[in-house]
Amino acid sequence: MTNEQIGMEEEPEIIYIPDDEGNEEEFEVIMKFEVDGSDAKYMMVVPLDSEEDDADEVYAFRYEEDGDDLQLFMIEDDEEWAIVEETFNTLVEELDGGAQR
Give DSSP secondary structure letters for 35-100. Answer: -TT---EEEEEEES-TTSGGGG--EEEEEEEETTEEEEE----HHHHHHHHHHHHHHHHHHHHHHH
**Residue 5: inside a domain, yes or no?**
no
How many domains are contained in the chain? 1
**Residue 3: inside a domain, yes or no?**
no
Q: How confident is the model at residue 3 (pLDDT cuts 50, 70, 90)?
A: very low
The dihedral region occupied by 22, where left means phi > 0, alpha psi between -120 and 50, and beta the remainder, is left
Task: Report pLDDT digits (tens) over 60-90.
Answer: 999 999 888 889 999 999 999 999 999 999 9
**Residue 77: inside a domain, yes or no?**
yes
Asked if 14 and 32 touch (Cβ cutoff 8 Å), the reply is: no
**Residue 63: inside a domain, yes or no?**
yes
**Residue 87: inside a domain, yes or no?**
yes
Residue 19's domain comprises 13-100
**Residue 18: inside a domain, yes or no?**
yes
Backbone φ and ψ for 8, nearest 5 degrees, come out as -85, 150
